[in-house]
Amino acid sequence: MGLPHPYILGETNWKTVKDMNYEVAIQPWGATEAHNYHLPYATDNYQVEHVATAAASIAWEKDARVVVLPTIPFGINTGQLDIKLCMNLNPSTQMAMLKDIVDVIRRHEIHKFVILNGHGGNHFKNMIRELSFYFPDIFTCSVNWYEAVDLKEYFEDLGDHAGEMETSVMQYIRPDLVLPLSEAGPGDARKYKIKSMREGWISTQRQWSRVTNDTGVGDPSKATPEKGEKYVNACIQKFASFLVEFADIDPDALYV
């Protein structure tokens, strides 16, 4: 086994941390929910943690002193409350947790904070606005790792839950947890009857058990680990580049 990585808080130690001047704290945030028949409930957590640690490794080699906090494994799943053991945190609970986390890093002179999101049901934009009210000296950003590059360049089916993309990524990073594709459901999703909702400019919460029979939204049948490797590594490189810039930037000189 290798030495603990100093940029992963959960595996490093006080001997390292006490003298380390970290510049950026990264909070991976996932979810625990059903992902069709073939993917594990913790799919979002495995993916976001993989991206966070891999990107932090690249950034660290470029002298960006980042630290990855332990992944928060529960997300907003209010539309899946009737699906067995889909775990839910309400947005107000997430906000309370964020305030406590930011309070800790602020006390230890880390003034840059990135929420790395791995779950489509999580939305942190308004929470960042509130954090900036309570902690104006903390430069906070959020990113959905899976939006770092254009999905259309890597996948045929653009379904957003347990489809070709997520299946491909899990086949690459955790193949031991992926059942054969012959056991996956088709990921068919029912569409809204209201035209404006189908067009996407009216937003509402999807009631998962009414939308899909297998909890998937998207066809996983064309997934391959090779597709997953290309896509997730492209996202990692993009996020790592951001971390290097973010660690270096003066928040008071952010605009050109």
* Residue 1 pLDDT greater than 80, yes or no: no
Q: Which pLDDT score, from 0 to 100, does residue 2 have?
A: 72
Measured torsion, CA atoms of residues 203, 208, 211, 215, in degrees rounded to the nearest 10: 130
54-67: average pLDDT: 98
Measured torsion, CA atoms of residues 141, 143, 148, 152, in degrees rounded to the nearest 10: -140
Determine the Cα–Cα distance for residues 22 and 7; give it in Å rounded to an integer.
9
Percentage, residues of the chain above pLDDT 70: 100
pLDDT, averaged across the chain: 96
CB-facing half-sphere around the CA of 160: CA atoms within 13 A: 10
Q: Which pLDDT score, from 0 to 100, does residue 3 have?
A: 80
152-176: average pLDDT: 97
Angle at the Cα of 87 from the Cα atoms of 36 and 208, rounded to 5 degrees: 45
Contact 183, 216 (CB under 8 A): no
* Residue 184 pLDDT greater than 90, yes or no: yes
Domains in the chain, please, with CATH?
Answer: 14-160+231-253 (3.40.50.10310)
* Residue 57 pLDDT greater than 70, yes or no: yes
185-205: average pLDDT: 94
Widest Cα–Cα separation across the chain:
59
- Per residue in 237-254, pLDDT (tens digit) is 999 999 999 999 999 999
Contact 67, 25 (CB under 8 A): yes
Determine the Cα–Cα distance for residues 198 and 187; give it in Å rounded to an integer.
18
Determine the Cα–Cα distance for residues 16 and 146; give it in Å rounded to an integer.
31
